[in-house]
């Protein structure tokens, strides 16, 4: 599974009032899409986006309304974070499979995360 995190210049109307956003791009594995496995959050994302301990996040899925609430699961005294409830339904509802790309976008000054799904052809 490939995962990357970068700060990029704004290139989408989804965060129209923000000047910079961060993206976390996840190349999904079979285990993440077939067995209801929670999505592990890299430490840099956990620290920068979630801090310590919120149990829920608001998520805007591109092209869908209204925002959804997804659950954050915390382990090892806050050192490990997983996205649980909400992620499972997203995988199921979108028939995700290994190789699909999911991009999480966090805009400066905006509470909700934007989730964008890219599918591979074939």
Question: Which pLDDT score is estimated for 7?
Answer: 35
CA gap 5, 17 in Å, rounded: 21
Question: Which pLDDT score is estimated for 31?
Answer: 77
pLDDT in tens, the chain (122 residues): 444 433 333 334 455 555 567 888 988 888 777 766 788 888 888 888 887 777 888 888 888 888 888 988 888 877 888 888 888 888 888 888 888 999 998 887 777 888 888 876 44
Q: Exposed (0-12), middle (13-18) or buried (19+): which is 115, by Cβ within 10 Å?
A: buried
- Contact 3/24 with Cβ under 8 angstroms? yes
CA gap 20, 17 in Å, rounded: 9
CA gap 29, 120 in Å, rounded: 13
Q: Which residues contact 11 (CB under 8 A, 6 or more apart)?
A: none
């Amino acid at each position: 599974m490939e995962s990357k995190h970068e700060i990029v210049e704004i290139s989408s109307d989804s965060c129209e009032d923000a000047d910079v956003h961060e993206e976390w791009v996840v190349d999904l594995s079979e285990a993440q899409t077939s067995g209801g496995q929670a999505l592990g959050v890299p430490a840099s994302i956990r620290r920068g986006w979630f801090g310590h301990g919120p149990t829920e996040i608001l998520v805007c899925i591109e092209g869908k309304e209204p925002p959804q609430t997804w659950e954050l699961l915390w382990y090892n005294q806050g050192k490990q974070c997983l996205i649980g409830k909400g992620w499972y339904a997203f995988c199921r509802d979108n028939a995700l499979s290994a190789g699909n790309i999911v991009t999480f976008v966090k805009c400066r000054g905006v509470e909700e995360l934007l989730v964008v799904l890219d599918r591979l052809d074939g």
